[in-house]
């Protein structure tokens, strides 16, 4: 259990055990202060998140080196396979407290979104990007870090099983012909094309997902059919 403080409250109670220092923010360790502000709490919560998600690992390593690693900002998130979780926890564990999320931002992070909510976000983003006028400026923003997010060809990150299907080829080419200004030989490096593909694949009327499962994923039919029925979770992944 924990206490709820008013916004801006500073806690002055010292830690109850020496081990607690291995979960404290670097600014507290360096200053020797026992007064914890909300940003320091976010740091500690990030450590707890990592411990929980990984089944007992600590983002700053073994106890022997933990304090020095915290003070020097040497964290390791290798035990995490979920990239969304990595982004969230890395932000919570920022060495500079001003760079950490607020509690409200943590609660709204995509890591906690359901598959259905992710689908709604994809659709809302697609509709926004295809509006005329001022909203078009967001397309250039979307493309700024595209190589970091989607690489040189986003189709390579689609599940191999889906890539082998005829439907995938048709939907990809529809995406290219509708939106892309890049030649097919150059791959699919345009982030907006990925949004268009997701919108087409997930919501286009006439796409028979049960037929797709039956024809192309026969050996995985029972698993994927359940995923398709429950919000097309496999495809969203």
pLDDT per position as a tens digit, 174-209 = 555 555 555 444 555 667 777 777 776 665 544 454
Residue 190, SS3 per DSSP: coil
Please report the pLDDT score of residue 7 as a whole number.
Answer: 54
Residue 197 token pair: 């593909």
CB 197 within 8 A of CB 179: no
Report DSSP state, residue 3.
Answer: -
Sign of CA dihedral 109, 45, 47, 32: positive
Report DSSP state, residue 57.
Answer: -
Q: How many CA atoms lie within 13 A of 204 on its CB side?
A: 16
Residue 88 token pair: 């969230």
pLDDT bin (cut points 50, 70, 90) of residue 126 is confident
Strand partners, 11: 36
Question: Is residue 153 pLDDT above 60, yes or no?
Answer: yes
Averaged pLDDT, 41-59:
95
**What is the CA angle 16-94-154, rounded to 5?**
135
**Dist CA 45 CA 67 (whole Å):** 16
Q: How far lies 135's CA from each of 131, 150, 200, 221, in Å?
A: 6, 22, 21, 41
CB 31 within 8 A of CB 71: no
pLDDT digits (tens, 9 = 90+) for 56-78: 999 999 989 999 999 999 999 99
Domain regions of the chain by residue span: 18-109, 115-236
CA 197 to chain centre: 19
Please report the pLDDT score of residue 141 as a whole number.
Answer: 76
Residue count of the chain: 237
**Mean pLDDT for all residues in the chain:** 73
CB 13 within 8 A of CB 32: no
φ/ψ of residue 36, rounded to 5: -100, 125
CB 57 within 8 A of CB 79: yes
φ/ψ of residue 81, rounded to 5: -105, -20
pLDDT bin (cut points 50, 70, 90) of residue 17 is very low
State pTM to two decimals.
0.66
Averaged pLDDT, 214-219:
44
Please report the pLDDT score of residue 143 as a whole number.
Answer: 75
Winning range, highest mean pLDDT, from 2-16, 18-32, 196-210: 18-32
Please report the pLDDT score of residue 232 as a whole number.
Answer: 53
pLDDT bin (cut points 50, 70, 90) of residue 142 is confident
**Dist CA 212 CA 218 (whole Å):** 9
Give the homologous superfamily in CATH for domain 18-109.
Transferase(Phosphotransferase) domain 1 (1.10.510.10)
The secondary element (H helix, E strand) that includes residue 120 is helix 115-129
Question: Is residue 93 pLDDT above 70, yes or no?
Answer: yes
């Amino acid at each position: 259990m924990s206490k709820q403080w008013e916004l801006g409250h500073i806690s002055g109670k010292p830690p109850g055990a020496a081990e607690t220092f291995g979960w404290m923010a670097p600014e507290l360790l360096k200053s020797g202060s026992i007064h914890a502000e909300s940003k320091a709490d976010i740091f500690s919560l990030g450590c707890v998140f990592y411990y929980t998600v990984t089944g007992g690992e600590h983002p700053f390593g073994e106890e022997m080196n933990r304090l020095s690693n915290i003070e020097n900002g040497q964290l390791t998130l290798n035990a995490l396979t979920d990239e969304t979780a990595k982004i969230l926890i890395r932000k919570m564990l920022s060495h500079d407290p001003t760079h950490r999320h607020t509690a409200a931002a943590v609660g709204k992070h995509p890591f906690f979104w359901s598959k259905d909510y992710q689908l709604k976000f994809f659709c809302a983003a697609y509709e926004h990007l295809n509006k005329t006028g001022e909203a078009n400026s967001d397309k250039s923003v979307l493309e700024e870090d595209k190589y970091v997010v989607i690489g040189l060809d986003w189709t390579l990150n689609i599940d191999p099983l889906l890539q082998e299907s005829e439907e995938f080829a048709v939907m990809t080419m529809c995406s290219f012909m509708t939106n892309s200004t890049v030649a097919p030989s150059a791959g699919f490096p345009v982030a907006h094309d990925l949004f268009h593909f997701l919108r087409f694949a997930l919501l286009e009327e006439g796409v028979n997902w049960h037929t797709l499962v039956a024809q192309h994923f026969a050996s995985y039919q029972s698993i994927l059919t359940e995923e398709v029925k429950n919000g097309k979770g496999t495809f969203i992944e």
